[in-house]
Chains A and B, each alone.
Chain A
Amino acid sequence: QSALTQPASVSGSPGQSITISCTGTSSDVGGYNYVSWYQHHPGKAPKLMIYDVTNRPSGVSIRFSGSKSGNTASLTISGLQADDEADYYCGSYTGSSTWVFGGGTKLTV
């Protein structure tokens, strides 16, 4: 079970769009449509932003969207806002009720 690969950091200006990638293998990201994304402001509880690759939980802004191609999933944030500045983690189901997460990406706005 190796961690999913994310870029260490991304940045963008307010109003712009950014995309964070999450690369795994055919045993996790590529094998299941169960990729989720979490926003984490230090000192707070991680917050679910996207589940099952593309779905947004109730209350999450439509500015957040997810996609997947092969073994790589992506989180796109459009119309960047200052409050979007946080760490973002992807996670994937890996079968047999086990999970793997990414190394995290620090978003600077």
Chain B
Amino acid sequence: QLQLQESGPGLVKPWETLSLTCSVSGGSIGSNSNYWGWIRQPPGKGLEWIANIYYSGRTYYNPSLKSRVTISVDTSMDHFSLSLRSVTAADTAVYYCARQVFGNFHFDYWGQGILVTVSS
């Protein structure tokens, strides 16, 4: 059974960089069958797709966040990462990592999420 687990600091100061990692177990992150993505949910709001990455490193970003986001993958460590620069209180959210199978158009496995608060 594929499992995803987010990790990273729960508190980030304004204008600093938020960095999260998603560890994948029960499957290979380097499989050419999968895309890996980040999705967030601000308190009291809906889900917002942030970015996807293919195992090869090809990336796709939400246009509204593209200027501040980098997604990367480390196939040797079976994890992928998110970096969000110059954060503000509006970036406070639960951040989820998820899998999208190549050729499918939905996210079939999700992590439990990690709450990241932006505050001084």
Binding site for B on A (CB under 8 A): 1, 3, 6, 32, 34, 36, 38, 43-48, 51-52, 57, 89, 91, 93, 96-104
**Does B49 count as interface, using CB distance less than 8 angstroms?**
yes
Q: Which of chain A's residues has its CB closest to B4's CB?
A: A45
- In the complex, the answer to whether A98 meets B106 with C-beta atoms within 8 Å is no
Which B residues have a C-beta under 8 Å from some C-beta of A? 4, 35, 37, 39, 45-49, 52, 60, 62-64, 96, 98, 104-113
Given contacts A1-B64, A45-B96, A46-B96, contact A101 B49 (CB under 8 A): yes
Cross-chain pair count, CB within 8 angstroms: 71
Query: With A1-B62, A98-B49, A101-B48 as given contacts, are A34 and B110 in contact (CB-CB < 8 Å)?
Result: no
B113 contacts A45, C-beta separation under 8 Å: yes
Find out whether the CB atom of A102 lies under 8 angstroms from the CB atom of B105: no
Chain A contacts for B60, CB-based, 8 A: 96-98
B10 to chain A, nearest CB (A): 15
| A36/B112 in contact, CB under 8 A | no
Q: Is the CB of B106 within 8 A of A3?
A: no
User: Chain B residues with Cβ under 8 A from A46's Cβ?
Assistant: 47, 96, 98, 107, 110
| Alpha-carbon separation in the docked complex, A38 to B52 (Å) | 18
* Interface contact A89-B47, CB-CB below 8 Å: yes
Q: Given A44-B112, A45-B111, A45-B112, are A52 and B106 neighbors across the interface (CB < 8 Å)?
A: yes
Q: Once the chains bind, are A45 and B110 in contact (CB under 8 Å)?
A: yes
Chain B nearest CB from A56 CB (Å) reads 12
Residues of A near B4 (CB, < 8 A) are: 45
